[in-house]
Amino acid sequence: MDSTRQLKIGRLIQKDLGELIQRQGLAAYDGAMVTVTAVRVSPDLGFAKVYVSVFPSNKAKDVKVKLDENAKDLRFELGQRVRHQLRIVPEIAFYIDDSLDYVERIDNLLK
């Protein structure tokens, strides 16, 4: 169970990181639309798992590689945005959120 502080920091990181990724534009990710769906922060607030949804989903692996390559730059820019709210900017790890693909597959099976 996440504490209230973890949830607040997760929402803050989700909002700001989503804006940073959107600002980079579609060209940075080969025309794929990237959305930050959730952020889970560790209890010591030093690590954040960032879940991203990618459309179209066949470009998900390429987008994840690019996000992993740019993780340090994104963390630095995130630190510039949240420097007055957080003492330590957490390390960032990106994960692909494939829940929409799963829902679509279940719908197709039920038809």
- Tell me which residue range forms the domain holding 98: 4-110
* pLDDT digit string (tens) for the chain, length 111 residues: 789 999 999 999 999 999 999 988 878 888 889 999 999 999 999 999 999 999 888 888 999 999 999 999 999 999 999 999 989 999 999 999 888 778 888 988 898
> How many Cα atoms sit within 13 Å of 42 on the Cβ side?
12
- Tally of domains in the chain: 1
CATH number of the structural domain spanning residue 90:
3.30.300.20
The Cα-based distances of 54 to 46, 60, 69, 74, 101 in angstroms read 26, 6, 17, 18, 10
Predicted pLDDT at 39: 96
Predicted pLDDT at 44: 93
Q: Which of 61, 57, 59, 51 is nearest to 21 (CA)?
A: 51
Other C-beta atoms closer than 10 Å to the C-beta of 6 total 18
How far is the C-alpha of 84 from the C-alpha of 57, rounded, in Å?
A: 36
The Cα-based distances of 43 to 5, 12, 48 in angstroms read 9, 16, 10
